[in-house]
Amino acid sequence: MINTACIIDDDPIYIFGTKKIMEATNFCNDFLIYKNGKDAVDDLIPKISAGESLPDVILLDLNMPIMDGWQVLDELVKIPTDHKIKIYIVSSSVNSADVERAKSYSLVSNYLIKPFSVDKIHDLMKDLEN
């Protein structure tokens, strides 16, 4: 089990469902939830810079208002840190260009297609153990 999972997504139904699945599978102890990329960047970057406790995993949506997932990634890669955060793109987009673009970010561990399920959470848990 990981300590903190971060969900950055503007879809309240996805957030609710993913939290419920994570709770049912004992995926994590705590959640950080951001409803858009700007809120996430405004909160996470100062924490990273100050060396504060960070989430172990981030589930990042690509299509959000105010600041999309690509813009969040562009901001996160600018901040040097020794803390390894695993970022998973979680999107409804099956566009191969999005998948390839995600692979170009060293911070991105994988690209997952919505919706989430118990099986996907179990696969994610196995991936995080490596």
All structural domains of the chain, each given as residue ranges with its CATH number in brackets, are: 29-112 (3.40.50.2300)
Reported confidence tier of residue 77, pLDDT bands at 50, 70, 90: confident
Phi and psi torsions of 8, nearest 5°? -115, 105
CA atoms within 13 A on the CB side of 100: 3
- Structure-token pair, residue 82: 């020794």
pLDDT of 80 over the 80 cut: no
Predicted TM-score (pTM) of the model is 0.92
For residue 28, how many other CB atoms are within 10 A of its CB?
20
Contacts of 2 (CB under 8 A, 6+ apart): 27, 28, 29, 56, 57, 128
Return the amino acid letter for 28.
C
| pLDDT of 12 | 95
